[in-house]
Amino acid sequence: MSLPSCSLWIFVARTDVPFILYTIPHLVKMNNFPFEEKVLAIDTAPLTGDKVSRLGIGTMEELRNCTQKLLKSGVVDRVVDINYETSYRHRLSQKHFGSPLRSTHNYKGYPILGSIFTIEECKSEYMLHFDSDMLLHQDIDYNWIAEGIKLMQKYPKMMSIRPLTGPPAKEGKIYQFSSYEEDPDGFYRFKFFGSRVYLINCQQFASLTPFPIIWCSYRQKFIDQFPLGLKILLNNLTGKGKLESWEVMVSKKLEESDYFRAVLTQSKAWTLHPKDRSPEFIQALPDIIKRIEAGDYPIEQAGHYDLIPELWY
């Protein structure tokens, strides 16, 4: 049976220069799927939020050099810039949020517009998104994407699916999350979304729009009581106000609907999220990737979503 079309999209930004020549070939290799295309989406916007203080920030020239190396070596098929043109930005935010928005990133500096840009520009029926810093293990005899697509076709209310969060722990324990349901069909059910890794059916995802616009609390607390339309107007006129995370907005929609997010329980595929950006981490990264690809990990790491640095180097 032939599989539906699926494309892989990965965000890259200046903050990612120190590691993407390691992580992106690794992610393409480990996902091991006949993607229709593999695309890097470059965030060209100025850094904001906590991204400004990240270690190892590169220049745009260095970032483009890295992406061209990945393109020329055949690791990816295409490199595109996130489209920040005003009319395009307004059209996408109108569709996905019900109103044109001036803000393009959340309060942390994560590209909200970039998230919806990749979904809009994906040519395939399914889209797999990975943040560029994620790490993945998959057994050679397993294909989590094929399994995920099969489950999404079986469960029409499954909005997205991803591999196990962290190496497998005893009795399927996931330490990061306190509330989830295990389905006997091999997945956990969640009513909140995660934006670092997700496999979606693009048309199904679009049917959930518009998502609610959620603003962070203002310094002038009285503004918190303003109607949503007035907050949007103030932001569009003055640039004041910061958006909550896209995943929080999508999660709110999940809570208000009968859709859910799924995480596979299968121990043959799992991810790790490194939070460290230190020179020590970058130096250790090639060895970490080798261990993860081989399915080797410190036992204390089992069940934990974030990579625990002191266990690895």
Q: Is residue 38 part of a domain?
A: yes
- pLDDT (mean) for 256-284: 96
- pLDDT (mean) for 12-29: 98
CATH assignment at residue 106: 3.90.550
- pLDDT (mean) for 122-140: 98
Which pLDDT score, from 0 to 100, does residue 22 have?
Answer: 98
Q: Is residue 219 part of a domain?
A: yes
Q: Is residue 1 part of a domain?
A: no
- pLDDT (mean) for 279-286: 97
Which pLDDT score, from 0 to 100, does residue 177 have?
Answer: 65
Contacts (Cβ under 8 Å, ≥6 apart) of 124: 4, 5, 6, 7, 35, 36, 37, 202
Q: Are 160 and 262 in contact (CB under 8 A)?
A: yes
* Domain around 172: 6-312
* Number of independent structural domains in the chain: 1
Q: Is residue 124 part of a domain?
A: yes
Q: Are 47 and 6 in contact (CB under 8 A)?
A: no
pLDDT digits (tens, 9 = 90+) for 68-90: 999 999 999 999 999 999 999 99
Cα distance between the two ends of the chain: 44
For the chain, give me the number of helices (H) and strands (E)? Answer: 10, 12
pLDDT class for 292, splitting at 50, 70, 90?
A: very high
pLDDT class for 1, splitting at 50, 70, 90?
A: low
- pLDDT (mean) for 105-114: 95
pLDDT digits (tens, 9 = 90+) for 58-72: 999 999 999 999 999
Q: What is the 3-state secondary structure (H, E, C) of 200-213?
A: EEHHHHHCCCCCCC
